């Protein structure tokens, strides 16, 4: 039954990027929206320069923000365009790998800034209410019933709502409630790599210490480091390594020796004292990949973002995929006239293959970033793909371009890449076969006069030695 004329009551669990953007979309539809967040209001926290996780905003995220009128204010006015990947070799030399055609770029956007901007935008609607320091302690998802504990007052609060939106991250409490229900599939994978954030501060004049319109990457085979530019001219540096390597760097001298070997050019950028201080002031964090299905319970509950598909960060699509969830959900509300009984099942069915595809793509891209970019074969294939894309812009779309600069469904991006690989493999085999035929022909034609020479040589030799 359509609920277009009915003022739905929505409970959004999680006030992060996906929860706050959902609040904007739902408020525009006239729904009563209450957002509950376990954390304190992020806008009240002290800002630490260079230590806020930066995000790579691509077409998918920009499109979702455009739907609530925030693309220009967040992406165009605030984001820093990155036109290529700047690869740093161990000897300190660099080379750039453009992301795509001229003018194509991704934007470095501070996660905290984005979250604050979305919360502020949502609060502009009188029908949106944020409740911070609220912990979800129990739920009846089928009936839309939730119980929260106010961590400030220690009081409990019960609420009943038409729809529960679980947007509470990779360790989602809402998803844990869904796992208690039959026919719910769930898997998680901790990858053996962990990460730590460091910082390159601005120079003495307050400027960037490296060219800012690039994503800087230090690929080192089994580990790597990346840096994204911040609006305050600092760089958020993320070091990805196996836990055992982190554990082995247990003294300042070992840390400096390690950086002297693998990241020598970053030591003057970070500063030895700051590197040692920052490294030993924190612990590396794990990374998890989550797949589950379905994403909904009847017509009363649905999960989105990391709650439904936590993604390792190596394709820069975790945030983009989460924001795209909101955009797609809003489209389905339009399609089905706000009928949640139709919207939620279709959202699960439509979105799941794409979410699982981007989880797999992110895993693959880690191998590419830390290792393959150093290989000549990778760079040659990249030039081939870029050349064919220039000649056939609609027919030949490279994998990275389809994921980052289009809204092609993620699982279609993988299918497209497999087709391209088959075309290239067949072309190589064909060219190789033609090459063998050509070489055989040349050898045969050059062998004919050689046989005559040998006959003459045998005759001459026979005359010299006489009969045996």
Per-residue model confidence as pLDDT tens digits over 339-373 = 999 999 999 999 999 999 999 998 887 776 666 66
Residue 442, pLDDT above cutoff 50: yes
User: What gap in Å lies between CA 259 and CA 263, rounded to an integer?
Assistant: 5
390 sits in which H/E element: helix 376-391
Q: Which residue has the higher pLDDT, 430 or 141?
A: 141
> Taking Cα atoms as reference points, which of 273, 274, 259, 272 lies closest to residue 225?
259
**Minimum mean pLDDT range among 49-53, 112-116, 177-181, 420-424:** 49-53
Give the model confidence (pLDDT) of 395-406 as tens digits: 888 888 899 999
- Say what the pLDDT of residue 453 is: 44
Residue 239, pLDDT above cutoff 60: yes
Which pLDDT band holds residue 153 (cuts at 50, 70, 90)?
Answer: very high
Share of the chain above pLDDT 70, in %: 88
Residue 232, pLDDT above cutoff 70: yes
User: What gap in Å lies between CA 238 and CA 381, rounded to an integer?
Assistant: 27
User: What gap in Å lies between CA 443 and CA 30, rounded to an integer?
Assistant: 80
Which pLDDT band holds residue 455 (cuts at 50, 70, 90)?
Answer: low
User: What gap in Å lies between CA 456 and CA 459, rounded to an integer?
Assistant: 5
- Say what the pLDDT of residue 441 is: 55
- Say what the pLDDT of residue 440 is: 58
The encoded tokens of residue 444 equal 């045969």
Residue 1, pLDDT above cutoff 50: no
Residue 460, pLDDT above cutoff 60: no
Contacts of 23 (CB under 8 A, 6+ apart): 12, 33, 35, 118, 122, 125, 128
- Say what the pLDDT of residue 48 is: 63
Classify residue 455 by burial, with Cβ atoms within 10 Å: 0-12, 13-18, 19+. Answer: exposed
Backbone CA torsion sign across 38, 42, 44, 50:
positive
**Minimum mean pLDDT range among 15-19, 295-299, 354-358, 429-433:** 429-433
The encoded tokens of residue 394 equal 């609609």
Classify residue 437 by burial, with Cβ atoms within 10 Å: 0-12, 13-18, 19+. Answer: exposed
Contacts of 302 (CB under 8 A, 6+ apart): 163, 164, 165, 166, 295, 296, 329, 344, 347, 348
User: What gap in Å lies between CA 14 and CA 174, rounded to an integer?
Assistant: 10
Is residue 192 within 8 Å of residue 242, measured between CB atoms?
yes
Q: Looking up tokens 């690929």, which residue turns up?
A: 219
Residue 457, pLDDT above cutoff 70: no
Residue 3, pLDDT above cutoff 50: no
> Taking Cα atoms as reference points, which of 323, 393, 386, 411 lies closest to residue 99?
386
User: What gap in Å lies between CA 90 and CA 220, rounded to an integer?
Assistant: 8
Give the model confidence (pLDDT) of 70-82 as tens digits: 999 999 999 999 9
Residue 242, pLDDT above cutoff 50: yes
The encoded tokens of residue 254 equal 């070992």
User: What gap in Å lies between CA 103 and CA 82, rounded to an integer?
Assistant: 10
Residue 465, pLDDT above cutoff 60: no
- Say what the pLDDT of residue 451 is: 52
- For 148, half-sphere exposure in the C-beta direction (CA atoms, 13 angstrom radius) is 23
- Say what the pLDDT of residue 434 is: 67
- Say what the pLDDT of residue 262 is: 96
The encoded tokens of residue 245 equal 């390597």
Query: Residue ranges of the domains in the chain?
Result: 9-80+105-189+288-370, 193-280, 375-415
- Say what the pLDDT of residue 314 is: 85
Fold category of 9-80+105-189+288-370 in CATH = FAD/NAD(P)-binding domain (3.50.50)
- Say what the pLDDT of residue 183 is: 94
- Average pLDDT of the chain is 89
Mean pLDDT is highest, among 37-51, 242-256, 361-375, 414-428, for 242-256
Residue 463, pLDDT above cutoff 50: no
- Say what the pLDDT of residue 142 is: 96
- Say what the pLDDT of residue 382 is: 77
Q: Which residue has the higher pLDDT, 422 or 122?
A: 122
């Amino acid at each position: 039954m359509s609920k277009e004329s009915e003022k739905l009551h929505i409970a959004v669990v999680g006030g992060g990027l996906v929860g706050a953007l959902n609040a904007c979309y739902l408020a525009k539809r006239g729904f009563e929206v209450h957002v509950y967040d376990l954390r304190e209001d992020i806008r009240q926290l002290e800002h630490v320069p260079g230590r806020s996780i930066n995000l790579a905003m691509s077409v998918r995220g920009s499109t979702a923000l455009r739907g609530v009128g925030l693309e220009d204010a967040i992406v165009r006015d605030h984001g820093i365009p990155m036109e290529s990947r700047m690869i740093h070799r161990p000897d300190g030399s660099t080379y750039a790998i453009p992301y795509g055609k001229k003018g194509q770029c991704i934007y470095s956007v501070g996660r905290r800034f984005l979250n604050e901007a979305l919360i502020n935008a949502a609060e502009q609607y009188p029908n949106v209410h944020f409740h911070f320091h609220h912990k979800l302690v129990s739920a009846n998802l089928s009936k839309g019933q939730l119980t929260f504990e106010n961590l400030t007052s220690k009081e409990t609060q019960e609420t009943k709502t038409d729809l529960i939106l679980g947007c509470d991250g990779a360790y989602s409490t809402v998803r844990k409630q869904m796992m208690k229900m039959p026919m719910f599939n769930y898997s998680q994978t901790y990858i053996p790599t962990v990460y730590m954030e460091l910082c390159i501060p601005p120079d003495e004049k307050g400027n960037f210490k490296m060219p800012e319109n690039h994503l800087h990457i230090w690929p080192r085979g089994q580990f790597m480091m990346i840096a994204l530019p911040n609006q305050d001219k600092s760089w958020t540096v993320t070091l990805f390594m196996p836990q055992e390597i982190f554990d082995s760097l247990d003294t300042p001298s070992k840390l400096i020796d390690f950086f002297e070997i693998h990241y020598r050019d970053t030591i003057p950028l970070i500063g030895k004292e700051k590197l040692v201080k920052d490294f030993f002031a924190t612990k590396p964090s794990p990374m998890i990949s989550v797949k589950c299905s379905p994403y909904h319970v009847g017509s009363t509950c649905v999960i989105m973002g990391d709650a439904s598909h936590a993604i390792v960060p190596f394709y820069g699509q975790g945030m983009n995929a989460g924001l795209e969830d909101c955009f797609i959900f809003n489209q389905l509300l339009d399609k089905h006239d706000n009928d949640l009984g139709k919207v939620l099942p279709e959202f699960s069915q439509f979105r799941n293959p794409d979410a699982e595809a981007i989880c797999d793509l992110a895993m693959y891209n880690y191998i590419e970033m830390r290792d393959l970019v150093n290989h000549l074969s990778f760079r040659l294939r990249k030039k081939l793909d870029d050349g064919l894309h220039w000649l056939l812009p609609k027919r030949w779309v490279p994998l990275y371009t389809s994921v980052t600069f289009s809204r092609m469904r993620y699982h279609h991006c993988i299918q497209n890449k497999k087709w391209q690989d088959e075309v290239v493999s067949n072309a190589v085999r064909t060219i190789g076969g033609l090459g063998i035929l050509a070489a055989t022909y040349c050898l045969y034609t050059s062998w004919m006069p050689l046989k005559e020479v040998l006959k003459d040589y045998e005759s001459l030799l026979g005359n010299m030695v006489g009969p045996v």
